[in-house]
């Protein structure tokens, strides 16, 4: 029922048994306003259209008459678990003839496809494998409605031309919850042999949503879910940077002698730190040019992880493979 796609993530190592990486703007502190007309505007999480890893279906408010404007279903609220702001998700109807279309309050990796009345859910990633999706919530259901939080890992299958689900976690909220309560959703993987290329995270005020076609969604108008402090947790000290500041391209990958490291912009004091699979740092090399060459001939065959840093600032993370 839920056609979930796409998350750009790379690997970052920490020296602890488990680590928790906050989703970009997972604390919901940043919002920007989108004006539609002199009398209508709405808020979106993030600092702007290019910095909104978490998004909503509020773009439906831009649907012109006579069909629109659509409902605003996610709001910035000061009723927060931590910090100043949280997200308030309220399910609504889009009034249409001959019948209304149910629009769930939805926050997550969602992108509207206006022409098809549906949403694409997710963002591209590389080899991402969180063990938990966590956050805090309150819930005010209407007439027996239920809410949900979802995490899904997938990969495009070039043979079947469909997405294969590699891992999933699901949390159903059936009862009213008046105080902020933590949810922890374990991710269950169906295979360890295939690396994912996408991740989706989603919180909805009505669990009967249908991302493939909104016309098939079910739920109760007015069901309200409060969400704050979203995060992903990783095992073996590995976490993931979801919105890297500097693009990094490594080639050849796998490499055996020398590896080229290309940056999207020059980093004056950049350092390329290398880690083995256990999270132990095994070396660091200056990476201050747009095009750099890193020797890997002394490394044993296997998978390694890198961090691109400048001083105390983490710019990007990723992985590479050495062969002999």
pLDDT (average), residues 304-311: 83
- Residue 2: pLDDT band (50, 70, 90) is very low
- Shared-domain flag, residues 184 and 305: no
- Shared-domain flag, residues 166 and 252: no
In Å, how far are 73, 77, 143, 179 from 67, measured between CA atoms?
17, 28, 27, 37
What pLDDT sits at residue 94? 85
- Shared-domain flag, residues 89 and 215: yes
Q: Domain span at residue 125?
A: 10-239
What pLDDT sits at residue 242? 65
Asked, for residue 130, whether it belongs to a domain, the answer is yes
Model confidence at 7: pLDDT above 70:
no
Domain edge (last residue) among 192, 219, 239 = 239
Asked, for residue 3, whether it belongs to a domain, the answer is no
What pLDDT sits at residue 311? 80
- Shared-domain flag, residues 47 and 110: yes
Of the listed ranges 40-49, 156-165, 218-227, 281-290, the least confidently predicted one is 156-165
Asked, for residue 305, whether it belongs to a domain, the answer is yes
What pLDDT sits at residue 211? 60
Asked, for residue 75, whether it belongs to a domain, the answer is yes
Domain edge (last residue) among 189, 208, 239 = 239
Model confidence at 23: pLDDT above 80:
yes
Domain edge (last residue) among 239, 264, 298 = 239
pLDDT (average), residues 66-95: 92
pLDDT (average), residues 51-59: 89
Task: Assign residue 16 a region (left: φ > 0; alpha: ψ between -120 and 50; beta: otherwise).
Answer: beta
Q: What are phi and psi of 262, to 5 degrees?
A: -105, 130
Model confidence at 319: pLDDT above 50:
yes
- Shared-domain flag, residues 144 and 265: no
What pLDDT sits at residue 118? 62
* Predicted TM-score (pTM) of this structure: 0.72
Of the listed ranges 87-91, 115-119, 204-208, 220-224, the least confidently predicted one is 115-119
Asked, for residue 4, whether it belongs to a domain, the answer is no
Task: Assign residue 132 a region (left: φ > 0; alpha: ψ between -120 and 50; beta: otherwise).
Answer: beta
What pLDDT sits at residue 95? 79
Q: At 64, which CATH number?
A: 2.60.120.890
Output 239 or 272, whichever has higher pLDDT: 272
Domain count, the chain: 2
What pLDDT sits at residue 136? 98
Q: Give the C-alpha separation, 290 to 29, whole Å.
A: 34
- Shared-domain flag, residues 113 and 78: yes
- Give 100-159 pLDDT, tens digit per residue: 888 999 999 987 665 655 667 778 776 678 889 999 999 999 999 999 999 999 988 888
- Shared-domain flag, residues 192 and 266: no
What pLDDT sits at residue 214? 59
What pLDDT sits at residue 3? 33
- Shared-domain flag, residues 265 and 116: no
Three-state SS at 59? helix
Model confidence at 29: pLDDT above 80:
yes
Model confidence at 16: pLDDT above 50:
no
Asked, for residue 2, whether it belongs to a domain, the answer is no
**What's the farthest any 2 CA atoms get from each other in the chain?**
69
Residue 143 burial (10 A CB sphere; 0-12, 13-18, 19+): exposed
Asked, for residue 97, whether it belongs to a domain, the answer is yes
What pLDDT sits at residue 212? 58
- Shared-domain flag, residues 260 and 176: no
E strand or H helix at 274 = strand 270-275
Mean pLDDT over all residues of the chain?
A: 83
- Give 154-203 pLDDT, tens digit per residue: 988 888 888 889 999 999 999 999 999 999 999 999 987 777 878 899 99
- Shared-domain flag, residues 255 and 213: no
- Shared-domain flag, residues 174 and 276: no
Q: At 290, which CATH number?
A: 2.60.40.3080
- Residue 82: pLDDT band (50, 70, 90) is very high
- Shared-domain flag, residues 157 and 263: no
Asked, for residue 291, whether it belongs to a domain, the answer is yes
């Amino acid at each position: 029922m839920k056609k979930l796609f796409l998350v750009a993530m790379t690997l970052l190592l920490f020296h602890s048994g488990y680590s928790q990486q906050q989703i970009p703007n997972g604390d919901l502190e940043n919002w920007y306003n989108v004006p539609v007309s002199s009398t209508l505007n709405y808020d979106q999480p993030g600092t702007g259209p290019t910095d909104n890893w978490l998004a909503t279906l509020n773009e439906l408010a831009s649907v012109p008459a006579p069909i629109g404007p659509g409902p605003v279903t996610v709001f910035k609220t000061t009723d927060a678990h931590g910090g100043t702001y949280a997200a308030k998700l309220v399910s609504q109807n889009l009034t249409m003839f001959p019948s209304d279309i149910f629009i769930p309050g939805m926050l997550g990796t969602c992108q509207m496809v206006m022409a098809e009345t549906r949403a694409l859910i997710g963002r591209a990633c590389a080899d991402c494998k969180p063990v938990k999706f966590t956050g805090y919530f309150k819930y005010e259901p209407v007439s027996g409605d239920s809410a949900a939080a979802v995490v899904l890992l997938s990969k495009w299958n070039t043979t079947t031309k469909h997405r294969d689900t590699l891992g999933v976690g699901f949390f159903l909220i059936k009862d009213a919850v008046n105080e902020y309560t933590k949810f922890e959703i374990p991710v269950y993987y169906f295979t360890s042999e295939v690396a994912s290329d996408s991740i989706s995270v989603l919180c909805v005020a009505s669990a009967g949503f249908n991302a493939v076609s909104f016309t098939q969604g079910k739920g109760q108008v007015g069901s309200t879910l409060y969400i704050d402090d979203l995060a992903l947790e990783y095992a073996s000290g590995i976490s993931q940077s979801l919105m890297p500041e500097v693009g990094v391209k490594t080639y050849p990958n796998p490499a055996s002698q020398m590896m080229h490291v290309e940056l999207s912009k020059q980093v004056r004091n950049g350092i390329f730190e290398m880690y083995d699979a256990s999270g132990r740092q095994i070396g660091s090399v200056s990476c201050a040019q747009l095009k750099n060459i890193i020797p890997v001939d002394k490394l044993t065959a296997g998978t390694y992880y890198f961090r691109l840093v400048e001083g105390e600032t983490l710019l990007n993370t990723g992985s590479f493979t050495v062969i002999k």
